[in-house]
Structure 1
């Protein structure tokens, strides 16, 4: 299965918002958090967004931000039809490559503590650095070899 990346545009916002809500609403409800479309839109517009494609069809996206300490994955969402088919693993590999190319000291992300995606991140070398309420803060030191 071959995936491709392209920079996301404002035309991809509705797809990205809908996918994120669809994938994450259960976690928001479980942890008594409020999903807000407007908050997603504001955050999405302030980030670097990449669309994941398969056969020119959107299958997911990821959003990034950065500072001197790290490259941050703010969102990584894969459409349900493409989950457990390697898209998430491929996307993380792309992000790790970006962090290396940009010579960032670390790759960081936050994941709901009960989200099975944390196992993918662990397989890719990210380690839990701390916990905040219902979230795990994870990090990969970029000098670390990736599987």
Structure 2
């Protein structure tokens, strides 16, 4: 087994899920370890052993995803734009939701997160959205998903990975730790980039 950002065995036959996830509609990854430095530091991320599956979303995931969005990003959204407007947020969610563009993160048989990412025409792999159940935050799940996406970007021959994050979203610290750098301030968001070459 090759060790890079994380070691994983993939149920679709590859060492990492990569692009095979969409072909098989689901994928099972056993996250064995993170970087050697994280393991030496101990802590939740260094010692976390997580098994997760990725599956393509279905229309049945609509309510789960709305609830996940509110629970995982509600504080940052309210800090940025004021009190949560349920009617407005539900409309945004209806406009955004396309099951074929979203993958559901499953741990122990239950959905606990989501990712939305794809290559762009400019040789850049763009992470549109990543959300993890707050009960599992700070346990290495977000780190493992991000590292999985970086490996997927490498497999697609992308030159860089980019994402946008709200300035008041504490996840930006995770992205910094993983090597992402702010390349543009686009209030209320930051555009962050990780060069792969």
Q: Considering the TM-score relative to the shorter chain, is it more than 0.5?
A: yes
Match of 1:137, SS state, is strand
Size of the alignment, in residue pairs? Answer: 143
1:123 aligns with 2:177: yes
- CA shift for structure 1 position 41: 2.6
Partners of 1:47 and 1:63 within 8 A in 2: no
Select which of 86, 89, 95 maps to 1:36: 89
RMSD (Å) for aligned C-alpha atoms: 1.8
Cα distance in 2, alignment partners of residues 62 and 81 from structure 1? 17
User: Equivalent residues in 2 for 1:8-27 (5 A)?
Assistant: 8-27=57-76
Partner of 1:132: 186
Larger Rg, first or second structure (1 or 2): 2
Which residue of structure 1 lines up, in the alignment, with residue 165 of structure 2? 111
- TM-score norm. by structure 2 comes to 0.66
The equivalent position to 1:88 in structure 2, one of 123, 142, 150, is 142
Q: Give the 4+ runs in structure 1 shifted more than 3 A.
A: none
* 8 Å CA contact retained: 2:165, 2:189: yes
Alignment gaps of 5+ in structure 2: 1-49
Deviations 1:63-118 (A, max 9, x none): 12431122211111100111111110011011111111111222111111121111
- What TM-score, normalized by structure 1, do the two folds share? 0.87
Question: In 2 relative to 1, CA 28–127 (structure 1 residues): closer, same or farther, beyond 3 Å?
Answer: same
**Structure 1 gap segments, 5+ residues each:** none
Kept after mapping to 1: 8 A contact 2:105/2:114: yes
